[in-house]
Amino acid sequence: MTNAELSPADTQALTSAIEAVGQRTFPRALSLLCMGVSNAQAAHLSAFFRNDKPMEIYSTRTDPDVIEALGTYFDVAFVLDPFYELFLRDPCDRVDSLHAIAPDDFLMSEYYEKFFLELSLSDECGVMLPISSEAALFLSLGVYDDRAMSVARLRALLPVVGALARRHWTVLTPESPDGSGRLAAHLDESFAAFGNSVLSPREAEITRMILKGHSTKAIALMFKNSPETVKAHRRRIYGKLGLSAQGALLPLFLDALRAMPPGAKGDPLKYLFTQ
Given a cut of 70, the residues of the chain with pLDDT beneath it are 1-5, 179-187, 262-263, 274-275
CA distance 135 to 49: 5
At 2 the pLDDT is 43
Summarize pLDDT for 82-109 with one digit per residue, the tens.
899 899 988 899 999 988 888 777 777 7
Summarize pLDDT for 7-53 with one digit per residue, the tens.
788 888 888 899 888 888 999 999 999 999 999 999 999 999 988 88
* pTM passes above 0.75: no
At 60 the pLDDT is 93
40 sits in the region (left: phi over 0; alpha: psi -120 to 50; else beta) called beta
Report whether 122 contacts 144 (CB < 8 A): yes
Going by the DSSP 8-state scheme, the letter that residue 247 receives in this structure is G
Distances (CA, A) of 150 to 10, 127, 142, 144, 164: 13, 12, 11, 15, 20
CA distance 82 to 159: 23
At 180 the pLDDT is 61
Strand partners, 258: none
Report whether 136 contacts 190 (CB < 8 A): no
